[in-house]
Amino acid sequence: MTESCCDLHCHTTESDGTLTPRELVRLAREIGLKTIAVTDHDTIAGIESAKRAGEEFGVRVLSGVEISVEYAAKTVHMLGYCFDAGAAKLQAGLDRLVSGRNERNAKIVARLNELGCAVTLEEIEAEAGGKVVGRPHIARVLLRHGYVATWEEAFDKYLARGAAAYFERLRFSPVDDVALIREAGGVAVLAHPKYVALHEGETLEDILQTLVHAGLGGMECYYTDHTPEETAYYLELARRYNLVVTGGSDFHGDVKPEIALGVGKGNLCVPESCAEALIERAARQ
């Protein structure tokens, strides 16, 4: 690991990762990262302790969050960075998303029970450690009980969009999401553009134009699963639309052991200049 890499997409035990914020920062220090951003799903609860650990271990920690929004009947993941983590409106928006998750999770459990999978909401919440509960936690409980043999089976059979126990949950539109992040002083970023599903005839640029119009400030060009060709294409798009280039591994700890902090599947290196550019953009807008 060279000294000039950062990782701006990391999950912790506050959502579906397996390292606590402090453990994450300590690992970042061990592998020589200068800067990380904690980007848990729908929560910023880990940021304060991550920042404290950042001071302890000498790692710069940026505030971050990952929110999946509803765009043309599809899910698009958005990241928010460098916002004021004390902003009341941001917290209220995230609280609504978590309530929406809890309502959805109850429906999933009821349907799973009907389908013969005797799992309870309590054990799923225990799996999540009392934090933001997601489908990955439900998948883990299904696996532990032997109702499915693999993670993929849990999603294909029950949890993926359109599967037997799938239910929608409250999601913001991209416009609302961008506003939420920007009003808190942050920069809204399109996450892993590779995984933006496109309708027939639609291009990534169509979606980008809508998002840029709404106030999008950046794009995650460097990402674990992006090929060099894809990265080059996203870098070119970011340049054309005047977007800050960001990047990260999407580290989740033991639940996704194939993805390592900082380096992803081995050869990821997000230039430290990405972190600088984000900070600068947040200060300017």
Would you tell me which residues interact with Fe ion (CB under 5 A)?
A: 66, 77, 191, 250
DSSP 63-95: EEEEEEEEETTEEEEEEEES--TT-HHHHHHHH
Binding of residue 16 to Zn ion (CB under 5 A): yes
Query: What does 253 interact with, of ligand AMP, Zn ion, Fe ion, none (CB < 5 to 8 A by kind)?
Result: none
For residues 110 and 195, which CB has a smaller minimum distance to Fe ion in the complex? 195
For residues 36 and 112, which CB has a smaller minimum distance to Fe ion in the complex? 36
Please tell me the distance from the alpha carbon of residue 70 to that of residue 207, in angstroms, as a whole number: 12
H, E, C per residue of 103-143: HHHHHHHHHHHHCCCCCCHHHHHHHCCCCCCCHHHHHHHHH
Query: What does 155 interact with, of ligand AMP, Zn ion, Fe ion, none (CB < 5 to 8 A by kind)?
Result: ligand AMP
Length, in residues, of the chain: 285
Please tell me the distance from the alpha carbon of residue 214 to that of residue 105, in angstroms, as a whole number: 30
For residues 77 and 137, which CB has a smaller minimum distance to Fe ion in the complex? 77
Binding of residue 140 to ligand AMP (CB under 6 A): no
Residue carrying the six token digits 């798009």: 237
Sign, CA dihedral 117-119-124-127, equals negative
Within 10 A of 205 (CB to CB), how many other CB atoms are there? 12
Contact string 150-189 vs ligand AMP (x = CB under 6 A) = -----x----x-----------------------------
Q: Which of 41, 182, 192, 281 binds ligand AMP (CB under 6 A)?
A: 41
Query: What does 172 interact with, of Zn ion, Fe ion, ligand AMP, none (CB < 5 to 8 A by kind)?
Result: none
Closest CB 97 distance from Zn ion, rounded Å: 14
Which pair of tokens denotes residue 63?
Answer: 């505030």
Closest CB 27 distance from ligand AMP, rounded Å: 20
Binding site for ligand AMP (CB under 6 A): 41, 134-136, 155, 160
Binding site for Zn ion (CB under 5 A): 11, 16
